[in-house]
Amino acid sequence: MSTYYPDHPSNTPSTLDSAVIKGVTLNVSSIETLYCLDSDHLPVLLKMGTAAGGSPRPTIKITNWNGVSAALEEIDTLSLNSIPDDMNKTDEIDSVIGALTNHARTVVGNNVREVPAFSNHRKYPADVLESLKEKHSFAPRKRISYCRV
C-alpha cells in the first residue's frame, strides 16, 4: 500500500524515522528530504560531521627554507655516510636515490610548521605589529574627492 498525501494542508501525514546506533555520537549538520526516490516512505539524507563539532580547522604549512638549506649542507650525517663512493649496479644506484630522497624528506619535515589558515593578526608579537603598522603607513592611500554639483 502506498503512502497517501491528502490535498488539504492540515491533513498532512506525520513521519517518524529513527535510527538505532550504539556508541556513536552524531553531529547532524543538515537534513534533506529526497523526493526523487520513489518509496512508501519519504527518505531523508542526514549530512553528518565530526563529533567535535564540524570539520577540522584548515591549516597551512610554512617551511623554513634557510633551515632546510643549512641541514642539507651538513654532509656528516648517518644517512649520507652510508652511501658508497663507487656504485656499479642499478640496485645500488636505486638505494642511493632512495637514501637521498628520504634524507631530503626528513630535513624538510623537520623544518615545517603548521599554522591556522585564518589567523588573527592581533595575536602577533608587538614588534611584528609595529612593523606591519609602519609598512602600511607608507602604502599609497586612495584619494577621495567630493564634487559639488
> How many angstroms separate the CA atoms of 133 and 125, rounded?
12
Where exactly are the structural domains of the chain?
9-48
Which position has the higher pLDDT, 110 or 139?
110
What's the pLDDT tens digit per position in 67-97? Answer: 999 988 887 777 677 777 788 888 888 888 8
pTM listed for this prediction: 0.43
What's the pLDDT tens digit per position in 27-77? Answer: 666 677 777 766 666 777 767 665 555 566 788 889 999 999 998 888 777
Largest distance between two CA atoms of the chain: 89
> How many angstroms separate the CA atoms of 17 and 22, rounded?
17
Name, in order, each residue with C-beta under 8 angstroms of 67's C-beta and a sequence gap of 6 or more: 110, 111
